[in-house]
């Protein structure tokens, strides 16, 4: 039987930070994952206070999209690397940067996570994948488990722009 490869996806990353996007962090991410094609503007992260005890006040949320498309079976390796980078930027054992890698395809956004829940599937390396949004009828649809920020119109606009970028990149790579 012939082995088929996956269609490539756009690597995107949700970033929570109290430090913005320091140049050294940007350079490290580009060394690991290739050039960053899009950086969204930052917004105050007020969707939950879950991260405040660890990261402190003033948390910002922004998103990155990388130029190179990746195979979906790389997601676990990518999440492992982003966890290591978070540890490198930690201060006194507390994260100052939170990196949430995900994949955008024509039809969905999949996020990687360390936490198992009923709606998540193992992707290797003790990590899980979650379909957070699906693209259907010219728009994003969320689920009861989708994070509140990903349900918001503003974030979905960014994901729509990332999806359009992905569709362009995919045409170029064919």
pLDDT tens string 104-150? 999 999 999 999 999 999 999 999 999 999 999 999 999 999 999 99
Q: Which helix (H) or strand (E) holds 138?
A: none
Give this prediction's pTM: 0.96
Pick from 104, 111, 113, 169: which is nearest to 135 by CA? 104
> Do the beta carbons of residue 25 and residue 97 sit within 8 Å?
yes
Terminal-residue alpha carbon distance, the chain: 24
Q: For the chain, what are the domain ranges?
A: 9-173
pLDDT tens string 18-67? 989 999 999 999 999 999 999 999 999 999 999 999 999 999 999 999 99
What pLDDT shows up at residue 157?
A: 97
Q: Structure tokens of 12?
A: 């995107």
> Do the beta carbons of residue 84 and residue 21 sit within 8 Å?
no
What pLDDT shows up at residue 64?
A: 98
Cα–Cα distance for residue pair 103/91, rounded to 1 Å: 29
pLDDT tens string 98-111? 999 999 999 999 99
Model confidence at 71, pLDDT cuts 50, 70, 90, reads very high
């Amino acid at each position: 039987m012939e082995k088929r490869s996956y269609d490539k996806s756009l690597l995107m990353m949700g970033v929570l930070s109290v430090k913005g996007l320091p140049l050294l962090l940007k350079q490290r991410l580009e060394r690991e994952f290739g050039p960053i094609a899009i950086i969204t503007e930052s917004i105050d992260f007020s969707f939950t206070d879950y991260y405040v005890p660890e990261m402190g006040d003033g948390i910002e949320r922004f998103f990155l999209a990388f130029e190179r498309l990746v195979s979906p079976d790389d997601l676990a390796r990518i999440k492992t690397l982003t966890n290591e980078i978070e540890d490198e930027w930690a201060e006194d054992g507390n994260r100052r940067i939170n990196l949430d890698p995900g994949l955008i395809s024509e039809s969905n956004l999949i996020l990687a996570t360390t936490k198992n829940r009923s709606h998540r599937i193992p992707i290797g390396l003790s990590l899980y994948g979650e379909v957070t949004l699906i693209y259907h009828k010219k728009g994003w649809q969320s689920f009861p488990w989708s994070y509140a920020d990903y349900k918001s119109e503003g974030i979905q606009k960014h994901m729509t722009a990332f999806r359009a970028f992905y569709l362009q990149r995919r045409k170029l790579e064919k």
